[in-house]
Amino acid sequence: MKKTFFSVSLAAGLLFPLCMNAQDTVPAQPAEVAPAEVAPDAAAPAKTAPAQTAPVEVAPAQTAPAQTAPVEVAPAQTAPAQTAPAEAAPAKTAPAQTAPVETAAPAAPLTKAKLFAILPKEFCVTPDCFVHTPWGDGSMLLSCPNFADPTMPRIILSISKDDQIRLWGMFPGNPNYKISTEPGKYRSLSGPMGMDFGPDGNLYVVDNIGWYGDPFADDPEFQMGRLVRIIVKNQRPVGAEVVAYNMSHPNDVKVRGDKIYVSHSMIAKEGEGENQTLISGVYCFPLDAKNVKVNNTVNDPQLICTVRTTPPILYGLDGICFGNDGEMYLGNFGQGSIEKVTFDENGKVAKQELFAQGPEMLTNDGMWYDQENGHIYVCDFSRNAILDIDKEGKIRVLAQDPDSTGEDGSLDQPAALILRGKQLIISNFDNVTGEPHTNTAHDDFCTLSVVDLDGIVK
């Protein structure tokens, strides 16, 4: 597949010039701000055309960073719950005292990932989650928490049907989130990760500001995460409001009917050392919920199910996807397993069981359910692999790569994926190192990969 080049269109209307408390609702119309600028060459920067005009061609090395600071959305008078994180290694990193984990997959991959796009590093250095838009134009959105560079704004990109990439919006920031330059401290203003559209046409985004920290350390400055509703009008973000807050490590979100499901990767911990057990789970909120403060404990009434994770990789539930019959699949990252949850006629959890686990899957991050064949496609974050899991839970390795810069499209710590036709488009997180991860360093290239399923998956 040829290398994909793209355009970036910046306009003032794509930003969130808002300030909001958790008890408030933001008006639909944003305040006016000066348009961001793109400098295509050494000449004086020219303002880019609004989003509806033809995109402006921007080479990655020549793209000027957005000139506006992240906008401000406060999550309320959120007092960090009794669990407050500190100066730990980045999340998803196995504890240092544990033995290395074998990372070689037992089966040869069936195909090779190729390059979909190199994202301009002036805008994105850490891509994460995809979502199809409901607008009928074949477009999708990509969240960029940009954890690899704490000085960068957190953004959401749009990808058109013909692979044009534009800035869709700036994620709302929080003026109460202090920025620290100390190693291991949280350093971002916000952390947009999982996203999904609701039937109301709004975009629901997990803001995992605590991704840098350890939710079980005694850090009084640790900031809790939240779920944000981005108000969308005419395919543009015009406001934001808090759905729920006070979650120490929210991760993914899926909307089904009138309910919102959020995975929480680190709720509680029992025991010490090799005898530790991590408890994670799924929260469920009504679609119209606002300003719900959870207790961030296993006794929260909004918590509908939990799983346990044991050493050496103490990182719990991550990706969520739903099947054709309404069943929910949950990826237990550190256990390398997928749980299946079925619901009764009242929407209550009726059964929770192990669906898939095996030597082919070390860890699992983003997941995507294929409605045509009932398969689940999974990112093995630690092994640099993409997996295919059939309806019986059998696992195959579709693609896998050793550590690299990812410049040629090789998998470089795949975090999320989306199915478009017969292709899987994959975001490469490329930010977490150490055992058991294949990744050894953050590279200069921020990439999206693509895996062609034709002739491989029926």
Higher local confidence (pLDDT), 190 or 276: 276
E runs forming strands in 40-151: 46-47, 114-119, 130-132, 140-144
Higher local confidence (pLDDT), 30 or 354: 354
- Whether the pLDDT of residue 257 is over 90: the answer is yes
Q: What distance in Å separates the CA atoms of residue 274 and residue 293, rounded to the nearest whole number?
A: 33
Structure tokens at 257: 């009917």
Task: Measure CA 154 to chain center.
Answer: 12
Residues of the domain holding 221? 12-452
- Structural domain contains residue 37: yes
- Structural domain contains residue 107: yes
- End-to-end Cα distance, the chain: 21
| Of the candidate ranges 68-82, 119-133, 357-371, the one whose mean pLDDT is the lowest | 68-82
Confidence of residue 209 (pLDDT cuts 50, 70, 90): confident
| Of the candidate ranges 81-90, 195-204, 398-407, 421-430, the one whose mean pLDDT is the lowest | 81-90
- Structural domain contains residue 3: no
Express each pLDDT in 308-366 by its tens digit: 999 999 999 999 999 999 999 999 999 999 999 999 999 999 999 999 999 999 999 99
What proportion of the chain, given as a percentage, has pLDDT over 70? Answer: 73
Confidence of residue 174 (pLDDT cuts 50, 70, 90): low
- Structural domain contains residue 124: yes
pLDDT at 138: 98
Angle at 420 between CA 211 and CA 235, to 5 degrees: 70
Confidence of residue 134 (pLDDT cuts 50, 70, 90): very high
Number of structural domains the chain divides into: 1
Confidence of residue 153 (pLDDT cuts 50, 70, 90): confident
Average pLDDT over residues 194-209: 96
Helix, strand, coil fractions of the chain, as percent rounded to 5: 5, 40, 60
Sheet containing 192-197: order of strands: 192-197, 203-207, 225-233, 236-247, 292-293
- Structural domain contains residue 291: yes
- Structural domain contains residue 457: no
- Whether the pLDDT of residue 64 is over 90: the answer is no
- Structural domain contains residue 372: yes
Average pLDDT over residues 114-124: 93
Look up the pTM and report it.
0.78
Kind plus residue range of the DSSP H or E element containing 417: strand 414-420
> What's 35's domain CATH number?
2.120.10.30
Angle at 250 between CA 238 and CA 350, to 5 degrees: 110
Average pLDDT over residues 168-189: 55
- Structural domain contains residue 384: yes
- Whether the pLDDT of residue 441 is over 60: the answer is yes
Which string of DSSP letters, residue by residue, matches 230-260? Answer: EEEETTEEEEEEEEEEEESSEEEEEEETTEE
The residues near 148 (Cβ < 8 Å, ≥ 6 apart) are: 125, 126, 430, 431, 442
- Beta strands 155-159 and 165-170 are antiparallel
